[in-house]
Amino acid sequence: MTTAIEISTRGENDEIVVAKLNRPEVRNAIDEQMVTEFHELCAQLESDPRILIITGCTVDTPKGPRGIFASGADIAQLRERRREDALRGINSGIFHRIASLPAPVIAAVDGYALGGGLELALAADFRVSTPFAKFGQPEAGLGIAAAAGATWRLKECVGTPLAKEILLAGRILNGEEALANHLVSELHEPDALVDGALELAGRIAQQDPLAVRLTKQLIAMPDAAHPAVDNIAQAVLFESPAKFERMQAFLDRKK
């Protein structure tokens, strides 16, 4: 059986995992097979934390090859889902698991990131894209809600007014608009997109992994948990060997 996600590793110590969505025949529509494969990948990254890059593939069009991230949930499957399927949280569950991975996640987006495709990208800690990316949430036009994270993650990124335009009026942002509104942090040409994501991943990999891991968890904590959780995390880091090694290296460089 063809896999829905192609997995590869990068970096000197394989510290970066690249997950390439691989359903070009349906523009990387997110089906249950893809969800299952993401759960399998998450299980690996929870036990062996590494930076994850999620990217799309290239599809042939009448105008030539074009990039595609994910066109959304598989409508053929979505049409048949009922109340119990919604309560299972098929997509929201996997997107929450991706967002909760110990190490940072980067979404590298070219072409369409619509519906569940945008919600997948929103689950990442960082988004980089090409100018040709298209970000949108067409669910209301299909008689459903964007219930896999967009109603709250999107407004955290772009603010409530623009989130309402996207969610309620069907507005689609291109890459330039996404950059201007902080939905993505970098723009790259299509042939440099993955390299741009890898360069960002490389900068993250230069930091102390435990400090990055705990800081990601602190960012996700509710306001009421601070500053107590910050003190606890710092107490752990103050005793880590990496703290002494890195600070001593800094002091040695100053000399």
The answer to whether the beta carbons of residues 167 and 137 sit under 8 Å apart is: yes
- Distance, in Å, from the CA atom of 127 to the CA atom of 53, rounded to the nearest integer, reads 10
Closest C-alpha among 167, 201, 234 to residue 14:
201
Query: Is residue 139 annotated as part of the catalytic site, yes or no?
Result: yes
What is d(CA 215, CA 129) in angstroms, rounded to the nearest whole number?
25
Phi, psi of 10 (to 5 degrees): -135, 170
Q: 37, 139, 239, 245: which is the annotated catalytic residue?
A: 139
Q: Report which of 90, 132, 92 is spatially closest to residue 108, judged by C-alpha positions.
A: 132
Please pick, among 40, 46, 119, 177, the residue that the annotation labels catalytic: 119
d(CA 67, CA 110): 5
How far is Cα 221 from Cα 239, in angstroms, rounded to an integer? Answer: 22
Which residues have a catalytic role annotated?
Answer: 119, 139
